[in-house]
Amino acid sequence: MNIGIVCYPTFGGSGVLATELGKALADKGHNIHFITYQQPVRLSGFHTNIFYHEVRVPTYPLFDYPPYETALASTMVDVILNNDVQLLHVHYAIPHASAAYMAKQILAKQGIKIPVVTTLHGTDITLVGRDKTYSPVVTFSMNESDAITAVSKNLRDETFSNFKMEKDIQVIYNFVDVKRFNRKPIDAFKKVISPNGEKILLHASNFRKVKRIDDVVKVFVKVNAEIPSKLLFVGDGPERPYIETLCRESAAHNEIRFLGKQEQMEDILAVSDVFLLPSEYESFGLAALEAMAAAVPVISTNVGGLPEINLNNYSGFLSKVGDVEDMCKNTLQILSDEVKLKEFKHNALQQAMKFDINNIVPEYEALYKTFID
Ligand code: GMT
């Protein structure tokens, strides 16, 4: 099949998932055409079946806001016409689904029918899409898609509750390549991070308010008072300066390290003992799944799609949003007992295997095949 994939090229979960999907499909022999404004961060190296088409947005003094959606729709048309693309799969509704609708209409005038699959990822529905500034366009373009998928049951339900849907939404869970993440720790790296065998707690995100990273700091300060430990932060975003200040003022400031944006997450996960995700909302929590694939138990909140991924008292623990005491208690329970830690690590990996790339990617292929003969 010749598939066009549209996504955000950044470190966010939707872009990561879309890129990993494209790479997996290319490995299976399909031709994949990425259409984005930058090379996706997880798209490195050369692959015979992968093509990258950059959306350029020419500026003009009149434009206070360069018309990205227009440039994207035009690039979609151009890529489809010149590469025999048979289906467009857009990740994140805004503005990808509406740009796809526009491209579809332009091509229809030329007698070309291009099916559009829209995958909803989370904030395109829950935080941003629901806003009345966007919701009429999001509702219309979702309903005009030939198929809609959501990354968890929770996100599907949220979409039905908040938008006037005229179409069914298929749940296709996010996935992880367990083989890639289940790595042996690099001893030299572990020695640098925890020279005296301290336990390593990890948080990775785009440092947005919805992640409640101050709760990560609060949990760590309490844990650190009980057991020798280190906290690693991976990622970057608007909340980082505030979080850095909070850490600097905390009792455990010498035990916290900010690693910034990292491409080799598997090596960092391999040395970690617990992953903290105290978010206000997560439609799925791809970062938590990647942690579990590296046999790292997850301490998370119980909101959104998280209970579908992280099983309480099995692959980790779930707490109410903001319940720092409970998250701290749960972390200590895992970290202070080596037998328990081993058991939770094993369970985390078992749970991640249910979402292995080899189980999920065929679901997308089957969906595409309903539109392509
Ligand atoms: O979490 C973010 O702010 C990034 C966002 C994105 O669009 O990249 O993540 C959303 O999509 C991910 C991939 O499907 C999910 O794993 C995240 O849970 C989801 N974020 C939220 O729902 C807040």
CATH number at residue 286: 3.40.50.2000
Q: Is the CB of 174 under 6 A from ligand 1?
A: yes
**Is the shortest distance between the CB of 159 and ligand 1 below 6 Å?**
no
212 shares a domain with 170: no
DSSP assignments along 222-233, one per residue: HHHHHS-EEEEE
**Is 284 a pocket residue for ligand 1 (Cβ < 6 Å)?**
yes
In this structure, which amino acid lies at residue 340?
K
Do 234 and 347 share a structural domain?
yes
On whether both 212 and 149 belong to a single domain, the answer is no
**122: Cβ below 6 Å to ligand 1?**
yes
Q: Which atom of ligand 1 is nearest to the CA of 284?
A: 18
- Compute, in angstroms, the gap from residue 284 CA to the centroid of ligand 1: 7
Whether ligand 1 lies within 6 angstroms of the CB of 286 is answered as yes
Q: In 194-263, which ranges are continuous DSSP H helix?
A: 213-226, 240-248
Q: Is the CB of 210 under 6 A from ligand 1?
A: yes
Mean pLDDT by 10 residues, the chain (373 residues): 95 90 96 95 89 94 93 98 97 95 98 97 83 92 97 97 95 97 87 94 96 98 97 97 96 96 92 98 97 98 98 98 98 97 98 97 98 89
262: Cα within 13 Å, side-chain hemisphere: 18
Give the nearest ligand 1 atom to 151 CA.
14
Is there an atom of ligand 1 within 6 Å of 152 CB? no
Query: Closest residue (by CA) to atom 4 of ligand 1?
Result: 12
Residue nearest to atom 12 of ligand 1 (CA): 13
Same domain, 103 and 251: no
Residue 87 Cα to ligand 1 midpoint, Å, equals: 24
Distances (CA, A) of 361 to 44, 96, 154, 177, 369: 20, 21, 20, 11, 13
Measured by CA distance, the residue closest to atom 7 of ligand 1 is 14
Q: Does 195 share its domain with 314? A: yes
Beta bridge partners of 57: none
Q: Which residues pair with 118 in a beta bridge?
A: 90, 148
Per-residue tokens: 287: 């970062």
Ligand 1: residue whose CA is nearest its atom 23? 282
Same domain? 13 vs 85: yes
Are both 149 and 182 inside the same structural domain? Answer: no
Residue 208 CB less than 6 A away from ligand 1: yes
Q: Are residues 151 and 245 in the same domain?
A: no
Predicted local confidence at residue 304, as pLDDT: 97
- Residue 227 has what pLDDT? 97
Our count of domains for the chain comes to: 2
Residues 199 and 342 occupy one common structural domain: yes
Q: Are residues 182 and 134 part of one domain?
A: no
Q: Are residues 259 and 324 in the same domain?
A: yes
CB of 41 closer than 6 angstroms to any ligand 1 atom: no
103, 167: one domain? yes
CB neighbours of 200 closer than 8 A, spacing ≥ 6?
Answer: 190, 193, 194, 229, 230, 231, 232, 271, 272, 273, 274
Residue ranges making up the domain that contains 133? 2-175+357-369
123 Cβ closer than 6 Å to some ligand 1 atom: yes
The whole-number pLDDT of residue 373 equals 77
